[in-house]
Structure 1
C-alpha cells in the first residue's frame, strides 16, 4: 500500500515498484510530491501507480527520466541496416532530433509536442517533403523502441491511417516521357564530354534500367561478351550458358554489385545491389556490340571507367558528369600545363542542353526504361524483376521469368532502336575528345542498313 509523508508544504506519496536493486537485492521505491495535493489525492495517486504495476503498465520515473540525447547516442548501434542508411539515420538524429528533443526525458515526450514539432519540421526551408517524412519515420522507430525498452508506456506518435487537419496532396515529381531521340542527344553529349565510355553508359542505363551505383560497379567479367563464361559461380555459369548461349543466344549483363563509399573511406567498396536485387538483364544486339567494342578499347576492371581511367564512384558523378551532359556546357579553351587559371587542359566544343533533362535527375533514365517495357506490353513479373523489385504475395510466389519473356524484351528494345536509327540525319555524329576505338559513324550506317532490311 502507498504511504504519505509531508516535506514542507509538499505532500509526498511513495510506493513499491515491485523491483529489486540489482546489486543489493533491496526493494525499489518510487515517489511523487505536489504542493497542490491533499493526503487523499496523494494516496489515490499511489493506488493508481500500484495498479499500473500489477497490470504491467508502469514505467518508473527512474527509467522514464533517461534523456533523449543519451538514448540517441546508443540507439543507432541496435540497427541492422546498410551503411548508407545508417549514415543517413545518424545524420537525421544529429541535425534534427537531438537539437529538439535532446534535453527532454524519453518518458516526457507528449503527443501534442510531437505534432507541433512535425509542423515546424516540415516548414523548414531545407527540409523537403520526402526528407521530412524520413526524419519522422526515424523518430517513430526511436519511440517504438523506447516502449520496448520500458522507457515509455506508449509511443506519442499516432498509429494507423488517422489524419488530423486539412488534406494536402503529396507533390509528385514532374517528368516527361522518355523519348529515344533525347537519349540519343544525351549519349552524344556524353561522347563529347566523357568519350566513348560515356556514350555507351547512357545507352546502357536507358536500355537496362540499372541503378547508377550498379553501373559504377559493373565489372567486365559480368558483362557481355565475357559473361556468362566468366562467371565465378560454377553452377550459375553452367545454367546461364545453357539459357543465354544456347541455340538462340541472348546477350546479357549480370547485376552482381553496386559500388559505394562506406563511411569516410576514400576508396569505394563493392556491395550487393539495393535490396540484394542481383539479376540478369538481357540487352538488345546493338548495345551488345557497343559493350563489346568498349571492353576491347580499355583494360580497366570497370566497364565504365572515369575520364581519368579510375572508378566513377570516386567522383561526384551528378555534378562532374551528369550536369554537363544534361544541362550543357560552354566551349572551353585550351591552356598549357602550369599556365595558371583560365581555360582548361581538356578543350571541348560547346555541349547543347537536352531540355527534357535539364536540371533533372539521372535516375529518370531508370524510370524511363520501365516506361519503355511497359509500353511494349511485357508482363508485370518480367518488368518488376528486371527493375530489381520483388512482386509480393501469391503473384510473386507463383510467377517466374522465362527465356521467352526475356527474348521478347530483347527484341522490343532492338526494334525501338531500329525504328529510331532510320530517322537519323547523315551528319549526326558529334566530335569526341578522345580517339574512338572504331568508326562510330560508319557503325551507325550499318545499323541503319540492318534496320531498313529488318521488319521492325
Structure 2
C-alpha cells in the first residue's frame, strides 16, 4: 500500500510512503485510507519521523527551549547525565508506556525522590513536545491522586532570632573578615538571594547608588529620575540597594545574569546597615561589595561548603607555625547547624510578616510576583518603605540593648 504524505520534494515531486506485508487487499486499502485521514487531521507520523533517534530528538528539543539560565542548565544536565545515556539506541517511536515505566523504575533506583521527579518532568516535556510530529500520543503517565491525602513533608525551621544572626555574623567575620560580618546582616535585613549578594557591585550599593547607576536602559529613564528623588544619602532620602543581577557560571565562566525570575527591585536598608555598608566599601577597593578571602567574587567559590558550613556549624581554632592563616575558634550556631544559608532569607520574610507590613510590600521586597488584582493595583509607597526601615532598625537596637545588659 502506497500513499501521498501531503508533502513535496524540493524538485516539486510528491513524497510518498508505503507499507507492505498485507495478506488482504481490503485490509491494505483501509490502512492506506487511515493514513490519509491522519494526514488530513494533522495527526500522521511519517515513517521517517517516527524512526528518529531519541538522542537526536533530545538535542533538537534542547536547542529550542528558552528558559532562565539556571533552569536551562538544569534541563541540559538531566539530558546529558540521564536521558541520553539510557535511550541512546532507541527511536522516538519506540518509547511507549512500557519503555517509559522502565526508565522511571531505573531513575527511582538511582536518585533521591526529588531528583528523580525532576528527571521525569524533563522527559515528560520532551515526549509531550514530540506529539504529533514524531509520535501520535505521549506515553507519559500523569499522576492522579487516589485514596487518602498525604501531606508532603516540609523543611523544619526555627524562628530566626537576631542574636543567632549576630553570632553568624561574628563567625563570618572570623572566617573572612568584616565583609563576612556585613554579608550576613545584609542578607538578614534585605532577604537577598545568595547569588544576588555574590554579584552585588559598588555601583548598585549604598552610598553610591543611585547616583552611580549605569542607567543602561533608555526606557527606564523615568524610573532613574524617581530613584534620585527617593533614595540616596542625606536629607529625606532613603538608603537602599538596587538588585539588578546575580552571578552564575555559564560555559565554565562566571557571568552576570538578571535577577532570578526578572525580580529586579530596590531594597531600602535600616540606618545601622547603611552605616556598615559605607564603612565596608571604604575599607577595600574591590568591585565586589562582599569580596572573598582572596579578593575575588564569592560566586567563584563553593560558598555553601567552604564558607557557610564552618560559619553555621563551627570550626576548630587554627594556630601553630605550620598554619598559614591562624584563625580563632568558630562556635556552632544551633539554630543554623546543618541548615541552609537560604533560611536567612526565609527568616527575613518572617520578620516582615511579624511586624505587620503590607503583603504587597513584603512580596515585592522578596522578589515575588503578587497575582491577581492586588498585584495589578498595588505599589510600594514611601511610607511602606520607611515603615520597613524603622521595624528593621528597631530589631537591631533591641538586640544591641540586650547585648549590653548581658555584658553588664
Both proteins in one fold, TM over 0.5: yes
Q: Distance in 2 between matches of 1:394 and 1:402?
A: 17
Residues 30, 60 of structure 1: 8 Å contact kept: no
Q: Distance in 2 between matches of 1:279 and 1:77?
A: 31
SS of the equivalent of 2:247 reads: strand
Matches within 5 A, 1:372-451: 372-425=351-404
Q: Which residue is 2:140 aligned to?
A: 157
Structure 1 residue 363 displacement after superposition: 0.8
- Is 1:54 equivalent to 2:40 in the alignment? yes
Structure 1 residue 238 displacement after superposition: 3.1
Matches within 5 A, 1:136-285: 136-147=120-131, 150-158=133-141, 162-163=144-145, 169-233=151-215, 235-245=222-232, 248-265=236-253, 268-285=254-271
Matches within 5 A, 1:289-304: 289-304=275-290
Q: Distance in 2 between matches of 1:388 and 1:344?
A: 43
Structure 1 residue 387 displacement after superposition: 0.6
Q: Which residue is 1:9 aligned to?
A: none
Q: Which residue is 1:122 aligned to?
A: 108
Structure 1 residue 25 displacement after superposition: 0.9
Q: Distance in 1 between matches of 2:7 and 2:208?
A: 67
- Is 1:33 equivalent to 2:21 in the alignment? yes
Moved more, 232-241 or 405-414: 232-241
Q: Which residue is 2:218 aligned to?
A: none
Q: Distance in 2 between matches of 1:250 and 1:357?
A: 32
Q: Which residue is 2:59 aligned to?
A: 73
Q: Distance in 2 between matches of 1:23 and 1:140?
A: 38
* C-alpha distance after superposition, 1:333-359 (max 9, x if no partner): 233xxxxxxx42111121111111112
Which protein shows a greater Rg?
1
* C-alpha distance after superposition, 1:143-188 (max 9, x if no partner): 232126x1122322246x7346886543322222212111111011
SS of the equivalent of 1:139 reads: helix
Change in CA separation of 1:128 and 1:171 when aligned onto 2, cut-off 3 Å: farther
Q: TM-score by structure 1 length?
A: 0.81
Structure 1 residue 29 displacement after superposition: 1.7
SS of the equivalent of 1:269 reads: strand
SS of the equivalent of 2:129 reads: helix
Structure 1 residue 383 displacement after superposition: 0.7
Residues 84, 262 of structure 1: 8 Å contact kept: no
Which has the larger share of helix? 2
Q: Distance in 1 between matches of 2:121 and 2:350?
A: 30
- Is 1:104 equivalent to 2:83 in the alignment? no
Structure 1 residue 237 displacement after superposition: 4.2
Q: Distance in 2 between matches of 1:25 and 1:226?
A: 68
Q: Distance in 1 between matches of 2:323 and 2:55?
A: 49
Moved more, 199-208 or 19-28: 19-28
Structure 2: segments with no counterpart, 5+ residues: 216-220
- Is 1:307 equivalent to 2:293 in the alignment? yes
* C-alpha distance after superposition, 1:36-64 (max 9, x if no partner): x6555444434433332333321122211
Q: Distance in 2 between matches of 1:80 and 1:382?
A: 30
Q: Distance in 1 between matches of 2:102 and 2:37?
A: 32
* C-alpha distance after superposition, 1:201-237 (max 9, x if no partner): 0000001000111111111222112222222336544
